[in-house]
Amino acid sequence: MIDPDAVAPRWPGVQAGRGHYESYYLRAVHPTEPRGVWIRYTVSVPPGGRATGQLWCTLFDRNGARPSAIRVDAGEPVTGDGAWIRLADSTFGADGAVGSATATTGNARWSLRASSEQPALRHLPREWMYRARLPRTKPLSITPAAVFDGMLEVDGEIIEVNGWPGMIGHNWGEQHAERWIWLHGLGLAGRSADTWLDVAIGRVRLGPVTTPWVANGALSLDGERFVLGGLGSRVAVAETEDSCVLRLRGKVATVTASVSAPAEAFAHWDYANPGGGMHDVVNCSVADLALRVERPGRDVLELTAASRAVYELGRPVDAAPA
């Protein structure tokens, strides 16, 4: 069952004079091939300005060329009539995502339905954090594990989507974190579809100071969730443009996650902050993931997911390699 608060759009209620960004997005991966799609419906509201929308679609294929990455402006966003968000003729809601995008870099259209029994995952540890002004980035997963069916067409290639595992996410805020990492993995070998990892790690600028890395998220093992990170929980991070190693602690489990993919498997984007400034973002939605799970009194688990993970790294443009 979909959580109404998890899907509720926030941009219509933005206070005058404040900036805002918001995204509904999905990812899905082929059950057996190193191929996946990432689709994003996004809203940007500059301080004192009007909301505008963009559509993003990226097809990843480790057996092919570089990702096909498409982004188009899509006018003013609206909501209602069953759609969490509508951008022109493209909609995203409880019935799925239907849309199209045509740009100089390519064209795509999609009609995807998702089924899931997984409840929402709120990465932030307190409900008030989603209502208060701080923190200024609000991540959650509407469903951290789902199964997709439908159709994609990218640059003239029609792709049937039958039983592709994936997820649906929703985030919003007044500004992006100074640096962030998003890691999502599923399809872990030898485990049920209720096994997944979904964590957001960020460093936040507070005036002249940037905080250490803070992680929030969860690991699900066959449906049993283990909260990871949180305020005051130490996280070890070693990141590059095409790989990352994280050590995440929780009350019950400690997880070491290693994720990587060839450099050519990443899409590169620029993300604009509502109040100005840009972030450079690399994303691979068909990365390789290895997990080591330690729990007191239990055997250590070693889990892998080949081409089934997302690794996304965002940082200010002036901090990105030339």
169's tokens: 């996410």
Picking from 225, 217, 232, the residue whose alpha carbon sits closest to that of residue 184 is 217
- Domain range summary for the chain, segments of one domain joined by +: 20-319
What is residue 319's predicted lDDT score, i.e. its pLDDT? 66
Residues 234, 310: Cα–Cα separation, whole Å: 22
CA distances from 179 to 210, 237, 281 (A): 9, 12, 10
The model's pTM: 0.96
Write down the pLDDT at residue 320.
65
pLDDT, averaged in runs of 10, over the chain (322 residues): 92 92 98 97 94 97 92 96 96 97 95 96 94 91 98 97 98 94 96 96 87 95 95 91 97 97 96 88 98 96 98 87 56
Q: How many residues does the chain have?
A: 322
SS3 182: strand
Q: Which helix (H) or strand (E) holds 5?
A: helix 4-7
Q: What is the pLDDT of residue 274?
A: 85
The pLDDT assigned to 321 comes to 65
**pLDDT for res 103:** 95
pLDDT of residue 2: 86
CB atoms within 10 A of CB 151: 14
